[in-house]
Structure 1
């Protein structure tokens, strides 16, 4: 298996959107309504990603396995009001279900954290659904620790809670967990921050509500 990681371009928008939708539909079974997941639109997400990548406000790395896009990670400065300029954020990490448990999520996480540290950040945060135990296990094995922050969102009419995990970037790069022991999964539920990046706004209060209205 040959894995390559590179920066995303606008031409990658449709493939990114395809992984985006497939990972939601697989990972959120039993968490979000089945009808809501079935109605997620690759076309709508492709348009969003084209806009986001054109705007250039979001760093995105792609992982390809034998030439096929297997996953991606989006990251940048932390947008949380209680964090200063030393803090960064992994805003979204998604792996196609066909490549779970192949080390793709591990490779993307490590690559993103390396770039954030090189950019001068000292810490990294991420947000994850409290009900997504697979994703939480993935990050806890990598040394992320939950803090006291949480927020409520709505997805398909269902109220959900997101919780925040934090880690020092130096510790993140020194983590020695085997990638094959990490369960790859889509991990960050604030993925639709890309819409806010394009608008210049902040959808952190309810990203799922925004998607529900726009991406059917």
Structure 2
């Protein structure tokens, strides 16, 4: 991913949240997501060069169609020797066309090449479509869970 990709990556991420999480996260939270603010934050993080974090983009005909990000597993504020898939999003109009799987496969190759024995990810407990996607790739819930707060509502995630 380059700084020039940040606007499109953020648009995919925000529109992805708004499409996939409409029934799982309060609408007030989703409607308040800002492509402009998030793109600037993403450019800042990219420029800072967060150690070990890898941002991947999928392109089709020169345009960004998906984004994935992975790096060291975060256990609270600590980073461990394991890896974590932090995010994977595909343009909502392109979901189901293999872009997400290609990004996931590349992220897993990168994690293995970096010497990570395990890869973890967090997914919204109620996001059945994403959970099926990850299960088909060999992931399974390990019993860990935690909520995050969105406009006062607890939104449960599973690892």
Give the superposition deviation at 1:68.
Answer: 1.8
Q: State the Cα RMSD in Å.
A: 1.5
Q: Contact 2:65 / 2:91 at 8 angstroms: preserved in 1?
A: yes
Q: 1:149 to 1:14 in 2, by over 3 A?
A: same
Given the alignment, which residue of 44, 50, 53 partners 2:37? 44
Structure 1 residue ranges (4+ consecutive) displaced by more than 3 angstroms after TM superposition: 81-84
Query: Which TM-score applies when normalising by structure 2?
Result: 0.92
Q: Contact 2:74 / 2:80 at 8 angstroms: preserved in 1?
A: no
Given the alignment, which residue of 99, 103, 107 partners 1:104? 99
Point out which structure has higher relative CO (alpha carbons under 8 A, 6+ apart): 1
Q: Determine the C-alpha separation between the residues in 2 that align with 1:137 and 1:102.
A: 15
Aligned residue for 1:52, secondary structure, equals helix
Residue aligning to 1:34? 27
Give the superposition deviation at 1:84.
Answer: 4.6
Gap regions ≥5 residues in structure 1:
1-7, 165-216
Give the superposition deviation at 1:160.
Answer: 1.1
Given the alignment, which residue of 11, 17, 20 partners 1:18? 11
Cα deviation, 1:5-44, whole Å, max 9, x if unaligned, reads xxx0122111111111110110011111223212210001
Q: Determine the C-alpha separation between the residues in 2 that align with 1:83 and 1:50.
A: 22
Cα deviation, 1:102-148, whole Å, max 9, x if unaligned, reads 10000000001101111111110000110111111110111101112
User: Aligned runs of 1:1-216 on 2, under 5 Å?
Assistant: 8-57=1-50, 58-80=53-75, 84-85=80-81, 87-164=82-159
Aligned residue for 2:143, secondary structure, equals strand
Q: How many residues align?
A: 156
